[in-house]
Amino acid sequence: MKTSLPFICNPDYPFARQWIAALQQAMPDEEVVPLSALDAHARASCTVAIVANPLPQDVRQLPQLRWVHSVWAGVERLVADLADLELNVVRLVDPQLAETMAEAVLAWTLYLHRDMPLYAAQQTRRQWLAADYARPQDTTVGLLGLGALGEAAADRLAGAGFNVCGWSRMRKSVSHVECFAGAVELPAMLARTDILVCLLPLTVETRGLLNATTFAQLPHHASLINFARGPIVCDDALRAALDAERIRHAVLDVFSIEPLPPDSWQWAHPRVSVLPHISAPTDRQTASAIVGQNIRRYRETGEIPESVDLARGY
Residues annotated as part of the active site: 229, 277
Residue ranges binding ligand NAP (CB under 6 A):
73-74, 145-150, 167-170, 172, 199-203, 205-206, 227-229, 253-254, 277, 279-280, 314
CB closer to ligand NAP, 198 vs 289: 198
CA-based angle 88:89:95, to the nearest 5? 130
CB closer to ligand NAP, 27 vs 232: 232
CB closer to ligand NAP, 210 vs 280: 280
* Closest CB 158 distance from ligand NAP, rounded Å: 16
Among candidates 213, 221, 261, 201, which has minimal Cα distance to 73?
A: 201
* Closest CB 109 distance from ligand NAP, rounded Å: 15
Residue nearest to ligand NAP according to CB distances in the complex: 147
* Closest CB 145 distance from ligand NAP, rounded Å: 3
CB closer to ligand NAP, 26 vs 254: 254
* Closest CB 214 distance from ligand NAP, rounded Å: 12
- The answer to whether residues 8 and 59 touch, using CB atoms and an 8 Å cutoff, is yes
CB closer to ligand NAP, 139 vs 168: 168
Q: How far apart are CA 27 and CA 289, in angstroms?
A: 8
Q: How far apart are CA 111 and CA 62, in angstroms?
A: 47
* Closest CB 140 distance from ligand NAP, rounded Å: 18
Count of CA atoms in the C-beta half-sphere (13 A) of 21: 4
* Closest CB 188 distance from ligand NAP, rounded Å: 13
CB closer to ligand NAP, 38 vs 92: 92
